[in-house]
Each structure stands twice: as C-alpha cells, then as structure tokens.
C-alpha cells in the first residue's frame, strides 16, 4: 500500500493541533474517514434523500437500491452466504443487546451458563450480566495467561454441557490480543453452545470470514472501519434469526397489523424497525469499497509491520510497561502501556500538546483493569494511514513527558 497516497484521502490528517500536525493514534476508539465516505453521505442528501422501502417515486427507489446494495457489500466483506443474515443496527453494542434480548430471553433458562472472557469490553459484558440475572443463569469467565492471551486450558475447563452461549471478542481493545476464534467455535459447538463474536476491533483490521471462523453471531461497528458513526451490523445464521422474536416494534418490521395482533416481516427487515440511518449506511458502503480495494490482507500486513516497529521502539523506554502479547503476529495494532509515576490522563494531555491523540483510561474494560491491578492505561492504536514516522514522534513525546514529569527514563 502507498501510505502517503492513502493519507491524502483523509482530510483531517492535515489538521494542526497546538501548532503540530495531527498524529492520530486513537483508532481503537474510532477511525478517521476518507473523502469517498464523506462524499457518499453528502451526495445522498444532495441527490436522492428519501425514505426507503415504502416509496414508489424515483428518489425513494434510488435510496432503497443504494441502501440495500450495502447489505450485499457487507455480506461479501465478511464472507456471509446470505444477505438476509445482515441486520443493520446503530452499533455493535446494540447488536449484542439485540441478541441478548431476543435470542437470550427465548433460549437461556435457569441453570444455563453464558461464557465470556476476562478481557471483554463492557458492551460484551453488561448485556450478559443482565440476562444471567434475569434468567437465573450463570456468567462464567475464561481467564488470560500472564502475557494477556486467552488461556485455552481455562476455556476447555469452563465451556461444558451447561454452556448455552460463548460471547467473545475477536480482538481485545486493550491488550490487542487476537482470539483463536475457530478453536473457541469448536469447543462451543462440541457442547451444543452457540458462539457470538464481538468484531468491533477485529473486523476493521483482520480478514474476516464468518464461515471459516465458525461464528453463529458476529457484531461490529462501521465507525471503527473508516465509516460513519451510528451504523453497526449483526450477522447471524439465518435459521437463528428466523426463530428469534423481533427486538423493536414499529414500522417496516411488520407484515400485517390488526388492532390486537401483528405478523412480522421477513429477514432482514424483521429486526430493522423504523426509518434506519440511511445516509450513514450508504457511507458505510463506501468504507467497505475503500477497504476492499486495498485488500484486508494488505491492511493487516501494514499493521503487523507498524506494531512490530512500535513494540521495539517502546522498549527504548526504561519505565514503560506494555500490556498484552509482545508478538506483533499475535496482536492487533493496539498498544496499552503505562509510564511509571505518570497518570494516563496526564500523559494524554502532555501528548496532546504535541498534536498526538491517544486514549487514556479504563477503555470500557474495568474488570480487566482490576485484573491488571491498574486504574487505567494509556493506549496508542494504529490503522492503515499511520506511519513509522508517527510512532517515532510518539516515542520522542513520551521521552519528553518523562522529562516534564521529572523523570529521565530512557536510554
């Protein structure tokens, strides 16, 4: 990939912060958007803004076609066999809640077990806490190894015949750990359990094929893969979706309605009540086009190279602690770290003075932070438009931060 050419597609990267050119290293929170995505949203509002599915005039027909074309693109992007298995939601969080409220309340019974890992984002924890409490089920956790990998021995001991669902991240937003999803799928299916994969961090960065990974449910958000906010996806095996009751009631999810009853639309519209986020779904389609043109194998290769470079560069800092695997092949482009005696929030503010945007805090993973025995961490996260030169700027700024805080902790 020609990174300098790619960077020219992202207008925000020309912005200056405190007199410095922006170094954007907060991609695990949200990615930046290329001109093609911004223009796709603008063009929709300029040329064919109309509601979809219900109109017979030209604008509505054009908008409907553009919207539904994105469903085809999503299916191709994640290796799904049927487009009717692709449900548009607001984000990955809503998609997980949809499964918990619809499939979960129908299938989880007292005494059943739901299995997640110790590194899950709150979005893949709270819905299962609620469901377990409501259904008198048990929530169990797969533990991690000392270097932040999924402990497969723990997984084998935790997943059993009482397990109804395993819900696990494809890639940790804190540790960068890439989960061995196909192995977890086999463990779950041997015991008759289903597998939900939280792909919020993984899908934007890793080649993803739902058939090859063995998932029963996959969720992700577009704002982390070059697309707009407010659009997510639930993919599920169609027979599961057919058996699940609707999540929300209203327009477009119905077939027929009487005063006292209703029948429901076919897939995927059974789960898409009301007017959807049409413009941003169309923008999301442009984001998929951009990534497909680059090739996800190339995106992944670039991030491995960047992550390997960054891990080595961080090791020139004496007082730094890095969380997660130290092997770039085993993790995504996410590095959570701490510098002795510098609070993560202070570090984030100091770096911002140099125009460097990172994340500081618990990253919506408070149970993991407790396991790590820290309040929070600083986190630098990379994407396809980041460069080794930006990592060099980060390292130099961290050295300066140590000086500012009264410590000389580098060689």
Does any domain span residue 411? no
Pick from 274, 293, 312: which residue ends a domain? 293
- Indicate which CATH number applies to the domain containing 43: 3.40.640.10
- Supply the pLDDT for residue 405: 79
Q: Are 89 and 238 part of one and the same domain?
A: yes
Q: Are 237 and 143 part of one and the same domain?
A: yes
Does any domain span residue 311? yes
Pick from 267, 293, 319: which residue ends a domain? 293
- Indicate which CATH number applies to the domain containing 309: 3.90.1150.10
Strand, helix or coil for residue 312: helix
Q: Mind giving me the DSSP string for 16-44?
A: EETTEE-EE-BTTT-----HHHHHHHHHH
Cα-based distances in Å from 278 to 46, 104, 224, 253, 408 = 13, 28, 18, 16, 53
Catalytic choice (59, 126, 364, 405): 364
Residue 198 structural domain: 38-293
Q: Are 99 and 23 part of one and the same domain?
A: no
Cβ 102 vs Cβ 246: under 8 Å:
yes
Reported pTM: 0.96
Q: Are 252 and 119 part of one and the same domain?
A: yes
Q: What is the largest CA-CA distance in the chain?
A: 76
Q: Are 125 and 206 part of one and the same domain?
A: yes
Does any domain span residue 94? yes
Q: Are 64 and 9 part of one and the same domain?
A: no
**pLDDT tens readout for residues 236-252:** 999 999 999 999 999 99
Q: Are 289 and 312 part of one and the same domain?
A: no
Does any domain span residue 146? yes
**pLDDT tens readout for residues 47-95:** 999 999 988 999 999 999 999 999 999 999 999 999 999 999 999 999 9
Q: How many other C-beta atoms lie within 10 A of the C-beta of residue 221?
A: 27
Q: Which of 159, 207, 148 is nearest to 183 (CA)?
A: 159
In angstroms, the first-to-last Cα distance of the chain is: 33
Percent of residues, the chain, with pLDDT higher than 70: 99
Q: Mind giving me the DSSP string for 106-126?
A: HH--TT-EEEEETT--GGGTH
Does any domain span residue 409? no
Does any domain span residue 410? no
- Supply the pLDDT for residue 406: 59
Whether residue 364 lies in the annotated active site: yes
Q: Are 171 and 287 part of one and the same domain?
A: yes
Pick from 244, 269, 293: which residue ends a domain? 293
Q: Are 319 and 188 part of one and the same domain?
A: no
**How is residue 377 written in tokens?**
């961490």
Does any domain span residue 345? yes
Q: Are 232 and 175 part of one and the same domain?
A: yes
Q: Are 136 and 202 part of one and the same domain?
A: yes
**pLDDT tens readout for residues 111-130:** 999 999 999 999 999 999 99
Cβ 26 vs Cβ 14: under 8 Å:
no
How high does pLDDT run on average in the chain? 96
Q: Are 103 and 244 part of one and the same domain?
A: yes
Once rounded to an integer, what is the mean pLDDT over residues 334-354? 93
**How is residue 236 written in tokens?**
């599920």
Does any domain span residue 370? yes
Domain count, the chain: 2
């Amino acid at each position: 990939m020609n990174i300098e050419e790619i960077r020219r597609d992202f207008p925000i990267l020309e912005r200056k912060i405190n007199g410095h050119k922006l170094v954007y290293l907060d991609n695990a929170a949200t990615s930046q958007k290329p001109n093609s995505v911004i223009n796709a949203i603008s063009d929709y509002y300029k040329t064919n803004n109309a509601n979809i599915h219900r109109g017979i005039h030209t604008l509505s027909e054009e908008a409907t076609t553009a919207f539904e074309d994105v469903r085809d693109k999503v299916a191709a992007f994640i290796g799904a066999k049927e487009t009717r298995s692709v449900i548009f939601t607001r984000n990955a969080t809503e998609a997980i809640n949809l499964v918990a409220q619809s499939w979960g309340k129908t299938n989880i019974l007292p005494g059943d077990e739901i299995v997640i890992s110790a590194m899950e984002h709150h979005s893949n924890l709270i819905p299962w806490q609620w469901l377990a409490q409501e259904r008198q089920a048990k929530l169990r956790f797969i533990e991690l190894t000392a270097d932040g990998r999924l402990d497969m021995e723990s997984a084998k001991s935790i997943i059993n015949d009482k397990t109804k669902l395993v819900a696990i991240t494809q890639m940790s937003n804190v540790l960068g750990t890439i989960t061995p999803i196909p192995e977890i799928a086999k463990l779950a299916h041997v015991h008759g359990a289903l597998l939900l994969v939280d792909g919020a961090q993984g899908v934007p960065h890793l080649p993803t094929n739902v058939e090859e990974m063995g998932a029963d449910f996959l969720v992700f958000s577009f704002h982390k893969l070059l697309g707009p906010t407010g659009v997510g996806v639930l993919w599920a095996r169609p027979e599961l979706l057919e058996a699940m009751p609707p999540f929300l009631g209203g327009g477009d999810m119905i077939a027929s309605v009487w005063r006292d009853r209703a029948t429901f639309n076919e897939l995927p519209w059974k789960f898409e009540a009301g007017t959807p986020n049409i413009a941003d779904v169309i923008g999301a389609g442009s984001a998929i086009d951009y990534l497909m043109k680059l090739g996800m194998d190339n995106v992944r290769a670039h991030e491995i190279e960047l992550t390997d470079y960054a891990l080595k560069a961080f090791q020139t800092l004496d007082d730094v602690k890095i969380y997660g695997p130290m092997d770039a092949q085993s993790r995504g482009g996410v590095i959570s770290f701490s510098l002795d005696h510098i609070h993560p929030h202070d570090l984030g503010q100091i770096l911002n003075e140099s125009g460097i945007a990172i994340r500081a805090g618990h990253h919506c993973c408070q149970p993991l932070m407790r396991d790590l025995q820290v309040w929070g961490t600083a986190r630098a996260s990379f994407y396809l438009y980041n460069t080794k030169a930006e990592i060099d700027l980060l390292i130099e700024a961290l050295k300066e931060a140590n000086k500012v805080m009264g410590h000389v902790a580098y060689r």
